[in-house]
């Protein structure tokens, strides 16, 4: 056997595979972009035809329990709670779970909102790991309830404790470092009113708040973050939500309703046993479990991400913190796909088993493997003269060019539909960040995701953990 010829053929063949993989991935992304670009104006047009005032006054608008897990969120918890207490919504309660914080999260809440302890029996509708130690309410009789519990190293455990305390039929899960726009809850509940028999979960758009000014829990001045790492994440989030998840909604293939902002029926979540304590991707695990069960039952259902409501959150500004976050996300995705492997490529589960799960397996979970291998194979083949330089350039353009196109398209969709950036300079910075994302950052991101995949394969135990917080910029 001619080993040299075999090795040469293998290297050349793999490079053709990388090209085909890049074209397939970007082709799917272009389909999602096309679908989302058509859908966003149509959704906004329907919204103009039905006023949110009608949703507010509608007798069928359900009460909502807003669930906020908080672990060492002292930097931004007051602004987050203020924004939630100022929501324009007819009936809601706010359940904040202090999950064994070691900073002054609870002390700040107690002083700011006048909390007093109460004797309340908390029924175990869903199982929890960390015991509830005390429950507090506002002395003024406001809608805020604060639960203190023993930390169990999982965000999902704090949410399960909040589900047990919640008293309304619908629950909205949101992170402790987030600020909601005043009408956000009306937007997310509206699909339930429009299609009460089919809609089982609704999510909104998540956007980085770094650089934004916040006054009394509301974003009053939007500016581009100073950190390039945060700016790149602004572009990522626009691409992920306005292109990815809105597009998947139209194709009835939403797999992730972000744990930072999602609304579900409480009874449905309780029936599923609450959020998974095992999975690091508890938000995707919840949605995947809904797909799995409802497909098996042959039910007609919809999971929706709507583009109008925004949840503003603080994102990591250092590569170290961002790397930990993305590594954990990759581990969580691997756990979700492993948990639902019985539906993978199974016709019984329709597009969930034949389209959604295969896409996330091949083009999300395994993409860092292909990308990093390609970073090695293409330059090696080029240096050894095994492939034509023009062919190498085609691979580069397919990989980078389509990604840049998607990012620029997401920025354009955001600007045309919502026009949240008043300064042309900020748009220019986002365009520059979209270009710079491909130089170093994208390769680092692939490495972080690969490490997360390896963590999942090795069974390495990873705790919830926290990200460094600087808090929101307060405007006078």
Residue 172 phi, psi dihedral angles, 5° rounding? -120, 120
Confidence of residue 464 (pLDDT cuts 50, 70, 90): low
At 451, list the tokens: 């490490």
- pLDDT for the residue 320: 94
Own/partner pairs for 237-240, CB < 8 Å, 24+ apart? 237/205, 237/206, 237/207, 237/208, 237/315, 238/207, 238/407, 238/410, 238/411, 238/413, 238/414, 239/406, 239/407, 239/410
Return all residues near 260 (Cβ < 8 A) that are at least 6 apart. Answer: 173, 174, 175, 178, 206, 311, 313
Mean pLDDT of 443-459: 93
pLDDT digits (tens, 9 = 90+) for 109-137: 999 999 999 998 888 899 999 999 999 99
Crossing angle, helix 367-383 and helix 3-49, to 10 degrees? 140
The CA distance from 197 to 176, in Å, is: 31
- pLDDT for the residue 389: 82
Percent of the chain residues topping a pLDDT of 90: 59
Whether pLDDT at 213 is above 80 = no
- pLDDT for the residue 466: 61
**Residue where the block lists tokens 């455990």:** 157
Return the DSSP state at 155. Answer: H
More confident residue, 135 or 209: 135
CB 21 within 8 A of CB 370: yes
pTM: 0.91
- pLDDT for the residue 380: 80
Confidence of residue 345 (pLDDT cuts 50, 70, 90): very high
Could you tell me the CA-to-CA distances from 317 to 230, 461, 469 in Å, in that order? Answer: 5, 25, 9
Confidence of residue 475 (pLDDT cuts 50, 70, 90): low
Whether pLDDT at 386 is above 80 = no
Whether pLDDT at 399 is above 80 = no
pLDDT digits (tens, 9 = 90+) for 239-287: 999 889 999 999 999 999 998 899 999 999 999 999 998 888 999 999 9
The alpha carbon of 261 is separated from its chain's Cα centroid by a whole number of angstroms, namely 8
Confidence of residue 49 (pLDDT cuts 50, 70, 90): low
Q: Classify residue 401 as left (phi > 0), alpha (psi -120 to 50) or beta.
A: alpha
The CA distance from 166 to 62, in Å, is: 14
Whether pLDDT at 384 is above 80 = no
């Amino acid at each position: 056997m001619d080993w040299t010829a075999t090795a040469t053929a293998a290297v050349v063949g793999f490079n053709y595979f990388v090209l085909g993989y890049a074209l397939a991935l970007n082709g799917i992304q272009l389909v999602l972009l096309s679908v989302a670009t058509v859908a966003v104006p149509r959704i906004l047009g329907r919204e103009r035809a039905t006023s949110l005032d009608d949703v507010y006054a509608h007798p069928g608008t359900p009460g909502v329990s807003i669930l906020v897990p908080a672990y060492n969120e002292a930097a931004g918890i007051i602004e987050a709670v203020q924004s939630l207490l100022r929501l324009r919504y007819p009936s809601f309660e706010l359940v904040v779970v202090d999950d064994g914080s070691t900073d002054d999260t609870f002390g700040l809440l107690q002083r700011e909102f006048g909390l007093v302890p109460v004797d309340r029996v908390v029924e175990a509708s869903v199982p929890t790991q960390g015991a509830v130690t005390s429950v507090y309410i506002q002395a003024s009789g406001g809608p805020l309830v604060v639960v203190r519990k023993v930390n169990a190293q999982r965000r999902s455990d704090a949410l399960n404790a909040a589900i047990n305390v919640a008293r309304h039929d619908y629950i909205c899960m949101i992170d402790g470092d987030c600020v909601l726009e005043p009408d956000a809850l009306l937007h997310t509940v509206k699909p339930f009113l429009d299609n009460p028999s089919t809609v089982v979960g609704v999510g909104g758009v998540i956007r980085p708040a770094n650089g934004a000014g916040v006054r009394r829990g509301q974003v009053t001045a939007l500016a581009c973050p100073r950190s390039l790492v945060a700016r790149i994440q602004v572009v990522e989030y626009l691409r992920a939500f306005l292109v990815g998840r809105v597009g998947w909604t139209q194709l009835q293939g939403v797999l992730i309703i972000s744990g930072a902002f999602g609304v579900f029926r409480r009874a449905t979540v309780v029936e599923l046993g609450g959020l998974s304590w095992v999975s690091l991707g508890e938000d995707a695990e919840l949605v995947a479990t809904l797909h799995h069960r409802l497909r098996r039952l042959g039910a007609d259902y919809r999971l929706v991400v709507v583009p109008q409501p925004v949840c503003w959150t603080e994102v990591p500004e250092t590569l170290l913190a961002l790397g930990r976050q993305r590594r954990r996300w990759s581990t969580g995705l691997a756990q979700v796909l492993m948990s639902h492997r019985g539906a993978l490529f199974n016709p019984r589960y329709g597009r969930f088993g034949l389209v959604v799960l295969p896409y996330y397996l091949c083009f999300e979970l395994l993409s860092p493997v292909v990308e990093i291998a390609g970073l090695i194979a293409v330059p090696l083949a080029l240096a050894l003269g095994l492939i034509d330089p023009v062919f190498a350039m085609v691979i580069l353009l397919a990989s980078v060019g389509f990604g840049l196109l998607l990012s620029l398209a997401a920025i354009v969709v955001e600007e045309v539909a919502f026009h949240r950036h008043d300064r042309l300079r900020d748009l220019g910075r986002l365009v520059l960040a979209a270009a710079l994302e491909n130089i170093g950052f994208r390769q680092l991101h692939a490495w972080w995701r690969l490490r997360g995949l390896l963590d999942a394969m090795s069974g390495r135990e990873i705790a919830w953990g926290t990200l460094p917080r600087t808090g929101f910029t307060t405007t006078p």
